[in-house]
């Protein structure tokens, strides 16, 4: 069995979060029903970002809400993409490609799936 690791880098101010900083990450329906990535931080990570600055995902600004150790990221095209991003943030790969800057290329993904 081949194991893949797909990471997405979220930076708040000057603080780069790591997969271990997240207690949970999932795709949910936001207030308008649109897909949103909801990430719950550990208490230590929540304290580190208490004085937050700009929020960047793979170096690009994203629309977010940061409240009481929970980060919501808007702008995902569908729930599959939101789930893939949540998994990538937590350092997990569950079969959905993450389309960000640090993603596995489509060719590598296709080759890996073909070899299973």
Domain ranges of the chain: 10-114
pLDDT of residue 89: 81
> Would you tell me how many other CB atoms lie within 10 Å of the CB of residue 43?
9
Nearest partner of 116 among 98, 87, 95, judged by Cα:
95
- So what's the pLDDT on residue 93? 53
pLDDT at 2: 41
pLDDT given at position 1: 39
Give the single-character DSSP code of 21. Answer: G
pLDDT in tens, the chain (116 residues): 344 444 678 888 888 888 889 899 999 999 899 999 999 999 999 998 866 688 888 888 888 888 888 999 998 888 988 888 888 887 665 444 444 433 333 433 454 455 55
Distance CA 91, CA 95 (A): 13
**pLDDT (0 to 100) of residue 65:** 86
Q: Which of 3, 63, 77, 71 is nearest to 39 (CA)?
A: 71
- In CATH, the architecture of 10-114 is 2-Layer Sandwich (3.30)
The span from the CA of 25 to the CA of 75, in Å, is 16
């Amino acid at each position: 069995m081949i194991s893949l690791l797909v990471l997405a880098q979220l930076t708040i101010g000057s603080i780069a979060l790591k997969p271990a900083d997240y207690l949970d990450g999932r795709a949910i329906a936001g207030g308008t029903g649109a897909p949103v990535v909801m990430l719950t931080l550990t208490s230590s990570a929540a304290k580190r970002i208490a004085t937050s600055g700009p929020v960047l995902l793979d170096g690009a600004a994203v629309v977010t809400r940061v409240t009481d150790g929970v980060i919501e990221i808007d702008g995902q095209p569908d729930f599959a993409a939101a789930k893939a991003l949540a998994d990538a943030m937590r350092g997990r790969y569950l079969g959905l490609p993450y389309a960000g800057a640090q993603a596995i290329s489509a060719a590598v993904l296709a080759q890996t799936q073909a070899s299973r």
